[in-house]
């Protein structure tokens, strides 16, 4: 995950700082967003994404990382262990 900010779009509302203060701050000169941690730790990533979603100027982006590719399953190995079925009792006639 990499957090990016477009200062030209920032409206200096401070929503990002209130949502994820570990990741964002505001400039003393103009109040616009400053990214403190462009690669936040996993416990903070959700708040960084929330800050991006709440940004009124849409100045913050958190590009989605591609998912890990899944390894193809072995067609000869069952997905779950096979459990033998219980024997059926003959039906009464």
The pLDDT confidence band at residue 63, using thresholds 50, 70 and 90, is: confident
Instruction: Quick: pLDDT tens for 7-49.
Output: 999 999 999 999 999 999 999 999 999 999 999 999 999 999 9
The pLDDT confidence band at residue 64, using thresholds 50, 70 and 90, is: confident
pLDDT more than 90, % of the chain: 66
The pLDDT confidence band at residue 79, using thresholds 50, 70 and 90, is: low
Q: How many helices (H) and strands (E) does the chain have?
A: 2, 4
Global pTM value:
0.68
With tokens 């982006």, the residue in question is 61
**Given its phi and psi angles, is residue 14 left (phi above 0), alpha (psi -120 to 50 degrees) or beta?**
left
- The full set of domain ranges for the chain reads 4-61
Q: What is the CATH number of domain 4-61?
A: 3.30.70.20
């Amino acid at each position: 995950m990499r957090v990016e900010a477009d200062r030209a779009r920032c409206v200096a509302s401070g929503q990002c700082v209130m949502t994820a203060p570990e990741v964002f701050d505001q400039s003393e000169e103009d109040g616009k967003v400053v990214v403190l941690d462009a690669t936040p730790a996993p416990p903070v990533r959700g708040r960084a994404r929330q800050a991006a979603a709440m940004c009124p100027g849409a100045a913050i982006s958190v590009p989605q990382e591609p998912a890990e590719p899944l390894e193809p399953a072995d067609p000869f190995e069952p997905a779950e262990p096979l459990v033998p079925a219980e024997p059926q009792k003959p039906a009464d006639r």
